[in-house]
Amino acid sequence: MDLEVVRADLQRVGEHRATPVALADGQIRVRVDAFALSANNISYAVFGDMMNYWDFFPAGTVSDDNAVWGRIPVWGFGQVVESLSPDVIVGERLFGYFPMGDELVITCGRADARGITDVSPHRSALASAYNRYQRCATDSAYRAEREAHQMLLYPLFFTSFVVDDFLLDNDDFGAEQIVISSASAKTAIGAAYLAHRRGQRVVGLTSAGNTDFVTSLGVYDEVITYTDVASIAPVPSVYVDVAGDQVVRHAVHARLGDLLGHSMTVGGTHWDSPADTDAATLAGPRPTFFFAPSQISKRSKEWGRDGLDARVSEAWHLFAAWVDGWIDFRHADTPEAVITLYRELLSGRVDPRLGHLCSLITT
């Protein structure tokens, strides 16, 4: 069973049930035990066409109105329950990219002690970073007692790490401060944590309702509401746009103009903001979409994949311990509960202190 949404109308969500397919040689069946759901997954849907996120798990639903449905990717843990691959045994636990559902059939390609790669034809042209499934037994980021942290935060923290590394790789574009929108979002918090830890000044932009929470984190040197963007200090800056909100983007660019050394779009938590039809009129540099796999590929070549993973894991374990001071994990264990949570995320009504873990296992 999967949850699917209409790609052009994210409010429309429904259950899709299909008869499990028989495995072919080289394939494994993974039961999806649990996955996290957050604003990050809304970003996957918002940028689904642009970044090909819909292509990872083609949908099975066909509507009478010819609506095009899609399966939103999520990060979670699964257990191998059937295997026709000589490289994978039944009972192995894997961490990786799954659909919002109860199982996934993986066609095993490259396999080593650390993990396996899905080489299903429909995934062959997609970003390799999302096609890799880590074996928990050998994953340096894995701790059994922190599975909740890993499925909710590790993929976001990995993005945060790569964002911060990209900025470091470019000497912060000469910035004296990093301005981050949607400051309460998990990816934003991770990026702020890393930049703050290395001594960079970080300014968080958030709604009035989230100001106290964002301030309490202690990783933002200044917290400014969206209505007060004009108060941002006029010094050389970088804009890390996690909100994807064109109104906020225009306000930031209007305030800083040529003081912006770089403007990067990382997410789309404000998914329902109007499309930016006036991007050409923005003051300062043209915003660029940040695609994490590009920086991951660069560092993998320079450091080796083991070197990159070691750096990320070291930072991750420190971050995960810090997160324990403020996060509250909640569980949604029925299709109805997951759909309700999904709609709350769409509306932006979810408390940023909460981390939501889901399961669609019905037996």
Residue 311 exposure: Cα atoms within 13 Å on the Cβ side:
16
Bridge partners for 137 per DSSP? none
The residue extents of the domains of the chain are 2-139+327-358, 153-293
Q: Are 296 and 129 in contact (CB under 8 A)?
A: yes
- Rounded CA gap, 93 and 314, in Å? 22
* CATH of the structural domain 153-293, one choice from 3.30.1360.200, 3.40.50.720, 3.30.930.10, 3.40.640.10: 3.40.50.720
Distances (CA, A) of 111 to 84, 114, 116, 131, 154: 14, 8, 4, 12, 22
Q: Are 272 and 212 in contact (CB under 8 A)?
A: no
Q: Are 46 and 271 in contact (CB under 8 A)?
A: yes
* Residue in this structure with the two tokens 């894991």, named with its chain if needed: 313
Q: What is the residue-level pLDDT of the chain in tens, covering all 363 positions?
A: 899 999 999 999 999 988 889 999 999 999 999 999 998 898 899 889 988 999 999 997 677 788 999 999 999 999 999 999 999 999 999 999 999 999 999 999 989 999 999 999 999 999 888 999 999 999 999 999 999 999 999 999 999 999 999 999 999 999 999 999 999 999 999 999 999 999 999 999 999 999 999 999 999 999 999 999 999 999 999 999 999 899 999 999 999 999 999 999 997 666 555 555 566 789 999 999 998 888 998 999 999 988 998 999 999 999 999 999 999 999 999 999 999 999 999 988 889 999 999 999 976
- Rounded CA gap, 32 and 94, in Å? 9
Reading the block at residue 52, the tokens are: 């090909």
Residue 168 exposure: Cα atoms within 13 Å on the Cβ side:
16
Prediction pTM value: 0.87
* CATH of the structural domain 2-139+327-358, one choice from 3.90.180.10, 3.40.50.970, 3.40.50.2300, 1.10.10.10: 3.90.180.10
* Residue 18 exposed, middle or buried by CB count within 10 Å (0-12, 13-18, 19+): exposed
